[in-house]
């Protein structure tokens, strides 16, 4: 039998596990919360993608995907978004090193690349709209704009988040022990990127069965 008194080494070890000192799984609460949230987000985007797929090629009227898509433009914007994930990795590494200058540069760079992606998306939406594709026009318009729109909204939230971190880093700096705050922003940012890879594949790479111009 082990009697746990407050002086025993076992208690001391156990006390190191208290919420103030650590967690049961050894993962910070904030990080675990974000992984859980992202699991939920998988089902959110999964449902949007499922809706898109189940209506693929079922539009009763044009414009059809082949009528509006500009593959080159979307490929460039996708590349920019992917590269923003690289900058995000550099930003986190800079925070963990305590390198303030690089932190500022890479955080701003990540946000900027996100903004460029959003600019491309705005351009793309405007172009499609000019070609007659609206939210209400057909099932393709409905499912395409809502799915990519929600993704764009997620990118916009991410940009706002990154710029907020940038301001914090600028005004008072982000100390190494607070790198977790940047890490969870990175988790979110990478997730939003991965969602785009899925959407890009589903929407642009898999040939659409409906007839186009």
Partner 1 sequence: MSATPLTAHPAHAPPAAAPSGIWDWITTVDHKKIGLMYGVTAYGFFLLGGIEALVIRAQLVKPQSELVSAQFFNALFTMHATTMVFLAVMPLSAAFFNYIVPLQIGARDVAFPRLNAFSYWLFLLGGLLINLSFLLGFPPDGGWFAYASLSERMYSHSPAMDYWVVGLLVLGTASLAAGVNFIVTILNMRAPGMTMMRMPVFVWMTLVVQFLVVLSFPIITVGLIELLLDRTVGTNFFLPLHGGDPLLWQHLFWLFGHPEVYILILPAMGMVSEVLPTFSRKPLFGAPFVVFSGILIGFLGFGVWSHHMFTAGLGPVADAAFSATTMLIGVPTGVKIFNWIATMWGGRLRFTTAMLFSVGFIALFTIGGLSGIMHASPPIDLHQQDSYFVVAHIHYVLFGGAIMGLFSGIYYWFPKVTGRLLDEGLGKVHFTLQFVALNIAFFPMHFLGVDGMPRRVFTYDEADGWHLWNLVSTVGAWMIPIGLLVFMYNVWWSARRGPRAGDDPWDGASLEWAISSPPPVHNFDAIPNVPSDRPLWDQKYGDATLGLDRRDPHIHLPPNSYRPLIAAAGVTTVFGAFLIRGHDIYRHLLDAPGSTIQSIPFSSLFLATVATGVIVLLYGLYTWFFEPVE
Residue numbers of the site for partner 1 (CB under 8 A)? Answer: 1, 3-7, 11-12, 14-15, 17-20, 23-25, 27, 29, 32-33, 36-37, 39-41, 43-44, 46-48, 51, 54-55, 58-60, 134-136, 138-139, 142-143, 146, 164
Residues 6+ apart with CB under 8 A from 67: 131, 133, 212, 213
* Nearest residue (CB) to partner 1, 120 versus 174: 174
User: How far, in Å, CA of 209 to CA of 105, rounded?
Assistant: 45
Q: How far is the CB of 79 from partner 1 (least distance, A)?
A: 28
What residues contact residue 4 under an 8 Å CB cut-off, 6+ apart?
Answer: 10, 11, 14
Measured from the CB atom, the residue of 72 and 136 that comes closer to partner 1 is 136
Please report how close the Cβ of residue 72 comes to partner 1 at its closest, in angstroms.
Answer: 29
Do the beta carbons of residue 57 and residue 210 sit within 8 Å?
Answer: yes
CB atoms within 10 A of CB 52: 20
**Cβ at position 115, least distance to partner 1 in Å:** 18
23: left (phi over 0), alpha (psi -120 to 50) or beta: beta
Kindly state the smallest distance separating residue 69's Cβ from partner 1, in Å. Answer: 20
Give the nearer residue to partner 1 in terms of CB position, either 58 or 131: 58
Peptide bond into 111 cis (omega under 30): no
Shortest Å distance, C-beta 78 to partner 1: 23
Q: Which is nearer to partner 1, 5 or 71 (CB)?
A: 5
């Amino acid at each position: 039998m082990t009697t746990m008194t407050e002086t025993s080494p076992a208690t001391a070890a156990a006390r190191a596990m208290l919420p103030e000192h650590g967690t049961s799984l050894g993962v910070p609460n904030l990080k675990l919360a974000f992984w859980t949230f992202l699991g939920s987000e998988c089902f959110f985007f999964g449902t949007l993608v499922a809706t898109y797929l189940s209506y693929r090629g079922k539009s009763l009227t044009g414009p059809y995907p082949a009528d509006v898509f500009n593959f080159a433009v979307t490929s460039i914007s996708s590349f920019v978004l992917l590269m923003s994930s690289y900058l995000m990795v550099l930003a986190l590494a800079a925070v963990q090193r305590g390198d303030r200058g690089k932190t500022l540069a890479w955080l701003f760079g990540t946000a900027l690349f996100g903004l460029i992606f959003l600019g491309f998306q705005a351009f793309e939406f405007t172009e499609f709209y000019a070609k007659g594709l609206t939210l209400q026009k057909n099932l393709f318009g409905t499912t395409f704009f809502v799915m990519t729109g929600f993704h764009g909204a997620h990118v916009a939230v991410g940009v706002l988040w990154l710029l907020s971190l940038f301001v914090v880093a600028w005004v008072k700096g982000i100390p190494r022990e607070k790198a977790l705050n940047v890490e969870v922003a990175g988790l979110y940012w990478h997730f939003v990127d991965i969602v785009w890879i899925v959407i890009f594949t589903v929407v642009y790479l898999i040939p659409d069965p409906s007839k186009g111009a």
